[in-house]
Chains A and B, each alone.
Chain A
Amino acid sequence: MGFVHCEITDDVLTPAKSWELLQNNTQGAIIWFLGNVRDHNEGQKVTAVTYEGVHSLGENVLRKICEECHEKWGADLGLLVSHRVGTLGVGETSIIIGVASSHRVAAYEASRYIIEQVKLRLPIWKKEHYASGAQAWLRGNSLNG
């Protein structure tokens, strides 16, 4: 089974730290996806976003998504998913996804799969803070089973 690292963390996410964890000499294709806080949403100027999460449950969900990647694209994939919680300013990184594979197609597809599943399934909630002083929780996807 390939390398897997999943975390919900309060710590600042840096590509350099993630690179050290995922980097190896056997996988020729490595894809990185970084999600950053942007300065606008639906016509409003955003100054920060608060991410709230459930650490243990969230990490279990991330590990399940990674298992699905191994089933779909091969057990040798190296996978890293780090999601930050707390209040992040504009430009700060909220999520880093790294996929290492022997071949580029699997790396691209698995990376896309992970971010789409994170948006659908990961127990994280976002509250946007606006320049006007207002705040609002963003609408999400129901986990009702």
Chain B
Amino acid sequence: MKIDIKLFGQVKDYFPTQQLEFVMEKDSITVEEMKAWLTSQALCPERSRALIQDSALATDTRVLQSQEVISQGVLFVLPPVCGG
């Protein structure tokens, strides 16, 4: 499956671009597995990994729960928030 990942807030400072594109061999994966996979990739700097684990994944309409299954599409990586 093809996954496009958009990074926000301080997470994007660790990567050369705000948007990443991956092709995975699996057809689906849970949110928790996706974060573990992402942090295992070579392009993911070691110093960003704790922040990504502390981040939520979301679509453009809602925040996903850790056991939800992702198939394909655009995923947002949302580090801890501080609106207001």
A and B pair up: yes
Min CB gap B74→A, angstroms: 11
Does B48 sit within 8 A of A, measured CB to CB? no
A119 x B56 contact (CB < 8 A): no
A57 x B58 contact (CB < 8 A): yes
Give the interface size class of chain B.
Answer: 20 to 34
B60 x A95 contact (CB < 8 A): no
Does A137 sit within 8 A of B, measured CB to CB? yes
The residues of B that contact A126 with a CB separation of less than 8 Å are 82-83
Give the interface size class of chain A.
Answer: 20 to 34
Q: Main SS of the interface on chain B? A: loop
Does A28 sit within 8 A of B, measured CB to CB? no
* A-facing residues in B7-51 (Cβ within 8 Å): 8-10, 13, 31
17 further interface pairs, Cβ-Cβ under 8 Å (given A54-B58, A56-B60, A137-B9): A54-B8, A54-B60, A54-B78, A57-B61, A58-B83, A60-B61, A60-B62, A61-B63, A123-B76, A123-B78, A124-B81, A124-B84, A126-B82, A127-B10, A139-B80, A143-B55, A145-B64
The 5 listed contacts between A and B (C-beta, < 8 Å) are A54-B60, A123-B58, A124-B81, A125-B8, A143-B63
